[in-house]
Structure 1
Amino acid sequence: MHVGGVVVLQLTVAPDGSVTDAKVESGHALLGNAAQEAVRRWRFEPAADTTSMTVDVNFNAQ
């Protein structure tokens, strides 16, 4: 089965740039866990404070 679509995640990013939390806001249930696992490996520019943001993770069925 090939599933594609967009998962919207609410991220919490620590001052060191690491993702400390990723909550699924919307998207296909089968893709939610994969999206969370992927963004937990992302690194952002370090900042003075903890930051929250919403991101879209796109999956293309092949």
Structure 2
Amino acid sequence: MALADRRALAACTAGPAHVDGVDDAASPRAGNPTDPVVPDRDTSSPPPQEIAEADVVLTYV
């Protein structure tokens, strides 16, 4: 069963934030803090299943 892009994003951001008790912090919207990452490939246009295969090579905190 595949997840829609929006649901997959929530599963990786808002879901874990809710478990940690910081619901608002992980909502991907303007003004919220983030830890930007640099993936090892372009993740802007591949099929969603390929995005999960990308590795993070750098995280800015």
Give me the TM-score of the superposition, normalised by structure 2.
0.27
Greater strand share, structure number: 1
Give the TM-score normalised by the residue count of structure 1. Answer: 0.27
> Higher helix share goes to which structure?
2
Higher RCO structure, 1 or 2 (CA under 8 Å, sep 6+):
1
